[in-house]
């Protein structure tokens, strides 16, 4: 009887401490959300992430959720450490080969197509509907075709990524090039500027916010496309291959560890592009409004 009361008291103490920790975490999030210094801006998402992981661990362990449905973060972290070499090999195959190559080809091709469409009304009327049709094709339909064309290794996944990323870059770049002010355009024409001078000195800088929007969007689309494409055929490595095979073996901790690697890679890529955007488009009114409001 005494042991039962001690156990109940320990459970109540853990719950109370957990509620206090959660309350302190929420208060710290509210505090950091109002700050603008770099370390305080970084502390807010980090603290929020740790709070979610802590709640995940407490809920899964406390409610005895079956491992096959949702493993606790501690098990995922253990699987990450134990299989770090295998996860690194998968990351190299999927991200460093397929994603980066397809991302470069897709974004670069979309940018060049946008310049060609801007220069030629014929291409604008003929190519844009075709590009729209290609963008509407599902990945599950494209991936098997690319595997038959380019083989089972990473070039077929890079081709899928290129097809997924070319249209967002094309549309955003074309819209950005059309966003240049008419008054500035007329002024440059009055000074005798040609097409390429107006493009380089006025229209491309004006299009940079839209171009970076496409780059950020494609940083996540590229990873999704490569992982999904690996479900349809790949050598014995890759994030999509690992998720597919380990799910069949019921090794859900390894599956979640692979998902964590993919999520971290996509988030870091998005963040690096966002930092580059701030350096390149520091003159944009959105940054000035943000700084003035703070």
- Provide the 3-class DSSP secondary structure of residue 65: coil
Query: Is residue 52 in a domain?
Result: no
Domain that holds residue 271: 81-288
What is each CA distance from 201 to 120, 125, 185, 230, in whole angstroms? Answer: 20, 26, 10, 42
Distance, CA of 161 to CA of 168 (rounded, Å): 12
Would you say residue 157 lies in a domain? yes
The total of structural domains in the chain comes to 1
Residue 267 has pLDDT above 80, yes or no: yes
User: What torsion do the CA atoms of 51, 57, 63, 65 make, to the nearest 10 degrees?
Assistant: 130
Is 46 among the domain residues? no
Strands (E), the chain: none
**209, two tokens:** 């916010």
* Residue 262 domain-assigned (yes or no): yes
pLDDT mean over 265-276: 89
Q: What phi and psi values does residue 244 have, to the nearest 5 degrees? A: -65, -50
**Nearest alpha carbon to residue 265 among 122, 93, 139:** 93
For residue 227, tell me if it sits in a domain: yes
Residue 63 lies in a domain: no
**Is 48 inside a domain boundary?**
no
Taking the C-alpha atoms of residue 162 and residue 222, their distance in angstroms, rounded to an integer, is 8
Q: Is residue 160 part of a domain?
A: yes
- The whole model's pTM is what? 0.79
Structure tokens at 67: 């491992």
162-185 pLDDT tens trace = 988 988 898 888 888 877 766 666
**Alpha-carbon distances, residue 52 vs 23, 57, 187, 261, 272 (angstroms):** 13, 9, 54, 17, 24
Q: How confident is the model at residue 294 (pLDDT cuts 50, 70, 90)?
A: very low
Output the domain CATH number for residue 105.
1.10.3720.10
Exposed, middle or buried by CB within 10 Å (0-12, 13-18, 19+), for 184? middle
- Structure confidence at residue 124 (pLDDT): 72
Residue 256 has pLDDT above 60, yes or no: yes
- The answer to whether the CB of 262 falls within 8 A of the CB of 242 is no
Task: Say what the pLDDT of residue 41 is.
Answer: 63
| The predicted structure's pLDDT at residue 171 | 87
């Amino acid at each position: 009887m005494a042991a039962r009361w001690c156990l109940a008291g320990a459970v109540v103490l853990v719950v109370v401490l957990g509620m206090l920790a959660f309350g302190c975490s929420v208060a710290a999030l509210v505090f950091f959300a109002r700050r603008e210094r770099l370390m305080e801006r970084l502390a807010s998402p980090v603290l929020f992430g740790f709070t979610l992981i802590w709640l995940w661990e407490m809920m899964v362990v406390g409610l005895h959720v079956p491992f096959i449905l949702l493993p606790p973060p501690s098990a995922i972290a253990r699987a990450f450490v134990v299989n770090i070499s295998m996860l690194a090999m998968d990351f190299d195959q999927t991200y460093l080969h397929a994603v980066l190559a397809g991302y470069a080809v897709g974004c670069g091709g979309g940018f060049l197509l946008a310049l060609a469409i801007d220069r030629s009304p014929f291409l604008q009327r003929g190519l844009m509907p075709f590009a729209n049709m290609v963008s509407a094709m599902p990945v599950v339909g494209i991936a098997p075709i690319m595997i038959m064309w380019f083989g089972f290794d990473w070039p077929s996944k890079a081709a899928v990524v290129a097809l997924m990323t070319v249209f967002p870059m094309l549309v955003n770049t074309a819209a950005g090039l059309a966003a240049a002010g008419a008054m500035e355009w007329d002024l440059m024409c009055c000074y005798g500027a040609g097409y390429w001078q107006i493009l380089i000195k006025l229209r491309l800088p004006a299009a940079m916010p839209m171009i970076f929007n496409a780059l950020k969007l494609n940083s996540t689309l590229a990873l999704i496309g490569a992982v999904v494409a690996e479900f349809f055929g790949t050598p014995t490595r890759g994030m999509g291959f690992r998720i597919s095979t380990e799910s069949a073996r019921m090794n859900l901790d390894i599956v979640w560890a692979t998902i964590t690697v993919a999520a971290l890679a996509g988030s870091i890529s998005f963040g690096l592009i966002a930092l580059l955007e701030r350096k390149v488009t520091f003159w944009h009114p959105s940054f000035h409004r943000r700084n003035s409001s703070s």
